[in-house]
């Protein structure tokens, strides 16, 4: 069990949440939802002890172990796969590192000898000699083959990385599993795999996600962060959503008698639980639903940012021409002789091998010059890029949001920059907070502001929907549909791809490619459904 007592987090300018009282029980899977910046990651960090709350406390049974899979999937890029897993037992990893450092010394003295023997004893006690083989077995079980175990994390696909990070979390043999947006880098197959995995995990799972489908599949409870409060609701995401919408509608409609409202809601609850009668947990869930009262449900207040890109100028005939492009990384052929020419009005979705797609975008942006073949942007083209990994833009940067944005703007006035921030829902004092404290989704919104500042006529996006809440995804989706220039992009969001792209280029596992002028659904129909 986890007991949260009177928990509060306050920043100088703002209360994130306060008076939070919650209980989490084993066997349940809790889905944490809330807008970007609502405090989901902060809440998980407080549960795991990484951050301190301003007030209140958390009680967890003494002997229960807790592991966390963090929102930043790039954090271990410079570690090998095996080491990343072993870090899951931090003490063991630290001992091993200190021990190895002592043995590597040339002037090994007596004190070093004593220290080394102390470390050896603790290492053996923690079963250190078994660690590598245990980590290996765990990885194998998650489908990470032996050939990958000595590779660096940066050489892995997003899918593989998340599995390794999960192995890291499981390495400590936890009773409580905290997962912060685990589905961000996963493809559909891997998400299904994670759903299965979580449904058989017996401890407490607390998972942050913006993926409706995933939340519906795995969660028994929703933890909603809104209005500066955190509340637990029984049921999955759909149930929470429908009932909060209904509550909102009722709150607006003040003419109706209160009893009538209650009746309506009860009818809805009855209908909903009947609909779900086929689901696995039907009986227990139905019991829980019966307990829900009107007071448990509150309307939600989510806001939509505005995303719109200005066209710099009409494009000429030459937009982008790629010829015989080949990219090999760490001995693997990512792209094998790729040829394509971008035509007017084309919005191209790249699907398939994500490492290859990121490599291609980095080449087209001039960030990576280690390739064969050629590419040429047209004279009239100004292109703008949204990279998948934005850590470099924010870490160790001591600027507030206005000054952060000013770095990328010709027009330097405060009012002008505030206008852009306002569209991205950073209004008033929000604009004065430090860029480095931003949440995952807030960083993405800043990256969009940066792109929106400079008019261009070709946009490249590498996974723009990762980290964003549903409202922001909708805003980005609409912004890209209405953009009048060219777009090259990749995303894992089905609807997003289908509503934006009119051409699909798939990079296959061997580096070869397939190129079709068609919608995403038609493409899938042709190559994946028919076969
Ligand atoms: N030291 C600080 N001072 C002021 N604000 C802060 C500080 N640290 C964090 N914040 C703010 O707290 C809020 C909560 O951040 P958190 O990372 O918990 O959000 P989140 O719900 O996980 O969002 P996302 O869905 O984008 O990942 C954000 O608005 C963030 O900018
Ligand atoms: Mg977060």
pLDDT digits (tens, 9 = 90+) for 58-70: 999 888 889 999 8
Question: In total, how many domains does the chain have?
Answer: 2
**What is the per-residue pLDDT for 177?**
94
Can you give the CATH number for the domain in which 381 is found?
Answer: 3.40.50.300
Give the ligand with the smallest distance to the CA of 426.
1
Cα 41 to ligand 2 centroid, rounded to whole Å: 4
Q: Are 243 and 249 in contact (CB under 8 A)?
A: no
Do residue 197 and residue 334 come from a single domain?
no
Domain boundary among 217, 232, 247: 217
**What is the per-residue pLDDT for 286?**
45
Distance CA 434, CA 395 (A): 11
524 within a domain of the structure (yes/no): yes
* Three-state secondary-structure class, residue 379: coil
For residue 400, what is the DSSP state? B
Query: Which domain, by its residues, includes 66?
Result: 46-217
Distance of CA 404 to the CA centre of its chain: 23
270 within a domain of the structure (yes/no): no
| Residues whose Cβ atom is located within 5 A of ion ligand 2 | 40-41, 71, 439-440
Domain boundary among 217, 246, 279: 217
Neighbour-count burial of 318, counting CB atoms closer than 10 A to its CB (0-12 exposed, 13-18 middle, 19+ buried): middle
Q: Are 388 and 358 in contact (CB under 8 A)?
A: yes
**What is the per-residue pLDDT for 260?**
66
Domain boundary among 217, 244, 263: 217
Do residue 213 and residue 327 come from a single domain?
no
503 within a domain of the structure (yes/no): yes
Q: Which helix (H) or strand (E) holds 291?
A: none
Q: Which of 422, 433, 426 is nearest to 399 (CA)?
A: 433
**What is the per-residue pLDDT for 282?**
40
**What is the per-residue pLDDT for 179?**
95
What the block records as the tokens of 27 is: 């066997």
Cα 438 to ligand 2 centroid, rounded to whole Å: 9
Do residue 213 and residue 324 come from a single domain?
no
What backbone phi and psi angles, to 5 degrees, belong to 390?
Answer: -105, 10
437 lines ligand 1 (CB under 6 A): yes
261 within a domain of the structure (yes/no): no
Do residue 208 and residue 85 come from a single domain?
yes
Q: 41, 399, 441: which to mutate for ligand 1, most atoms within 8 A of CB?
A: 41
Q: Which regions of the chain are under pLDDT 70?
A: 250-301, 530-531
Distance CA 52, CA 49 (A): 7
Q: Are 420 and 405 in contact (CB under 8 A)?
A: yes
144 within a domain of the structure (yes/no): yes
Give the ligand with the smallest distance to the CA of 439.
1
What the block records as the tokens of 411 is: 């027009």
Do residue 64 and residue 187 come from a single domain?
yes
Give the ligand with the smallest distance to the CA of 15.
1
242 within a domain of the structure (yes/no): no
Cα 54 to ligand 1 centroid, rounded to whole Å: 14
Please say whether the dihedral angle defined by the alpha carbons of residues 31, 37, 38 and 41, taken in this order, is positive or negative.
positive
Do residue 209 and residue 335 come from a single domain?
no
Give the ligand with the smallest distance to the CA of 443.
1
**What is the per-residue pLDDT for 21?**
96
Nearest CA to ligand 1 atom 9: 437
**What is the per-residue pLDDT for 408?**
94
300 within a domain of the structure (yes/no): no
Nearest CA to ligand 1 atom 3: 11
Nearest CA to ligand 1 atom 17: 439
280 within a domain of the structure (yes/no): no
Q: Which helix (H) or strand (E) holds 337?
A: strand 332-342
Please say whether the dihedral angle defined by the alpha carbons of residues 411, 412, 418 and 420, taken in this order, is positive or negative.
positive
Model confidence pTM above 0.85:
no
Q: 12, 13, 16: which to mutate for ligand 1, most atoms within 8 A of CB?
A: 16
> What is 230-283 written as a DSSP string?
EEEEES-HHHHHHHHHHHHHHHH-TTS-HHHHHHHHHHHHHHHHHHGGGSTTHH
**What is the per-residue pLDDT for 285?**
41
Distance CA 236, CA 289 (A): 11
Q: Which of 353, 305, 300, 238 is nearest to 477 (CA)?
A: 305
């Amino acid at each position: 069990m986890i007991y949260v007592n009177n928990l509060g987090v306050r920043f100088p300018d703002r209360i994130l949440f306060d008076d939070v009282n919650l209980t989490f029980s084993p066997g349940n899977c809790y889905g944490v939802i809330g807008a970007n910046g609502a405090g989901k990651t902060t809440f998980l960090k407080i549960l795991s002890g990484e951050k301190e709350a301003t007030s209140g406390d958390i009680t967890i049974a003494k002997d229960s172990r807790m592991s966390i899979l963090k929102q930043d999937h790039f954090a271990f890029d410079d570690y090998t796969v095996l080491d990343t897993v072993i870090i899951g037992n931090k003490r063991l990893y630290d001992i091993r590192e200190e021990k190895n450092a002592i043995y590597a010394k040339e002037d090994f003295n007596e004190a070093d000898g004593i220290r080394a023997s102390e470390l050896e004893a603790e290492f053996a006690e923690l079963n250190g000699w078994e660690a590598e083989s245990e980590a290996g077995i765990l990885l194998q079980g998650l489908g990470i083959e032996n050939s990958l175990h000595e590779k660096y994390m940066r050489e892995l696909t997003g899918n593989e990385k998340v599995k390794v990070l999960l192995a890291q979390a499981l390495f400590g043999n936890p009773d409580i599993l905290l997962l912060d947006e685990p589905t961000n880098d996963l493809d559909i197959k891997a998400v299904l795999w994670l759903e299965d995995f979580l449904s058989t995990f017996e401890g407490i799972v607390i998972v942050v996600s913006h993926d409706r489908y995933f939340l519906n599949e795995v969660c028994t409870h929703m933890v909603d962060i809104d209005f500066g409060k955190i509340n637990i609701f029984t049921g999955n995401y759909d149930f929470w959503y429908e009932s909060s919408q209904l509550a909102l509608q009722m709150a607006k409609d003040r003419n109706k008698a209160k009893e009538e409202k209650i009746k309506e809601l009860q009818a809805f609850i009855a209908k909903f639980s009947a609909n779900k009668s086929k689901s696995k947990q039907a009986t227990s869930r139905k019991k829980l639903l019966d307990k829900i009262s009107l007071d448990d449900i509150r309307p939600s207040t989510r806001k939509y940012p505005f995303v719109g890109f200005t066209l710099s100028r009409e494009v000429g005939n030459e937009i982008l021409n790629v010829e015989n492009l080949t990219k090999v990384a760490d001995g693997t052929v990512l792209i094998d002789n790729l040829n394509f020419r971008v035509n007017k009005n084309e919005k191209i979705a790249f699907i398939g091998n994500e490492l290859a797609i990121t490599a291609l975008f980095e080449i087209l942006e001039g960030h990576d010059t280690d390739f064969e073949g050629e590419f040429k942007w047209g004279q009239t083209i100004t292109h703008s890029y949204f990279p998948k990994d934005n850590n470099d833009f924010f870490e160790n940067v001591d600027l507030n949001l206005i000054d952060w944005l000013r770095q990328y703007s010709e027009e330097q006035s405060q009012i002008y920059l505030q206008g852009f921030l306002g569209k991205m829902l950073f209004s008033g004092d929000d604009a004065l907070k430090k860029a480095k404290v931003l949440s995952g989704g807030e960083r993405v919104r800043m990256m969009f502001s940066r792109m929106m500042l400079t008019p261009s006529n070709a946009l490249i996006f590498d996974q723009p929907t990762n980290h964003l809440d549903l409202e922001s995804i909708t805003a980005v989706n609409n912004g890209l549909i209405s953009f009048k220039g060219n777009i090259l992009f990749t995303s894992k969001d089905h609807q997003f791809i289908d509503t934006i792209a009119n051409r699909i280029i798939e990079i296959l596992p061997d580096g070869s490619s397939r190129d079709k002028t068609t919608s995403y659904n038609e493409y899938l129909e042709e190559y994946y459904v028919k076969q």
